[in-house]
A and B are shown apart, each in its own frame.
Chain A
Amino acid sequence: AQSVTQPDIHITVSEGASLELRCNYSYGATPYLFWYVQSPGQGLQLLLKYFSGDTLVQGIKGFEAEFKRSQSSFNLRKPSVHWSDAAEYFCAVVSGAGSYQLTFGKGTKLSVIP
């Protein structure tokens, strides 16, 4: 069965600093990978997704993620964090074409210090 691990439960960064959120997946073939963001009291919003092709994926709000097959990772990055980026971030995986089940990691809460 597919699974997703987000090793960091909570990360605190200063505004303007760079950010990297880690995500590792477990699946034999190439999965479809997603990053979602959830602001407090809100639903989830898709930041970016990887299905195939270029391993560096650009998303909304200045985020990017890199798929590394050798490390089974799909880490989310942002060069300069803004206070409005404070939220919870979820990595998710689908096991491939025809799969209907999206599996989420447990999430990483991001706090931003002014």
Chain B
Amino acid sequence: NAGVTQTPKFQVLKTGQSMTLQCAQDMNHEYMSWYRQDPGMGLRLIHYSVGAGITDQGEVPNGYNVSRSTTEDFPLRLLSAAPSQTSVYFCASSLQGPSSYNEQFFGPGTRLTVL
């Protein structure tokens, strides 16, 4: 198993550009989520999905869109990047949600800089 994979590892954008951060898992996990990590802020939940076709907002959803067309993939879209979205983004997955006894597995992260 490759686990949770994220692409790209690094990305630099200009303000107003759009891009999609990719996340994939090969463990047949129903639950997937996106976090952003900023210095001194810990990780904050952006969006999550409990299965294909089902998504919901987390703590900091503004400026981000998600969709879940397959169990394996959960892309995060920035429609119009802003400097405030400069951050490290982590994708995570688990068999069920974090309140189940299943471990959440984290990807290696994508470091995004918006100029």
Contacts and interface: CB of A to CB of B under 8 A. Distances in A.
A114 interface: no
Given A43-B90, A43-B107, A94 B98 contact: yes
14 contacts: A43-B106, A43-B107, A46-B104, A51-B101, A90-B42, A90-B43, A94-B97, A95-B99, A97-B99, A100-B50, A100-B56, A101-B98, A103-B45, A106-B41
A9 interface: yes
Interface residues of A, number: 27
B31 A100 contact: yes
Contacts of A9: 40
A86 to B, nearest CB: 17
Interface of A: 4, 9, 32, 34, 42-46, 49, 51, 90, 92, 94-107
Interface residues on B, range: 20 to 34
Contact of B103 (A4, A46, A51, A90): A46
B43 A104 contact: yes
Contacts of A43: 4, 90, 106-109
A102 B90 contact: no
Interface in B72-113: 90, 92, 97-99, 101, 103-104, 106-109
Interface string B1-16: 0001000000000000
A10 to B, nearest CB: 11
A83 to B, nearest CB: 23
Given A43-B106, A43-B109, A96-B99, A101 B45 contact: yes
A31 B103 CA distance: 16
Given A43-B90, A44-B90, A99 B97 contact: yes
A101 B103 contact: no
A42 B90 CA distance: 10
A25 to B, nearest CB: 13
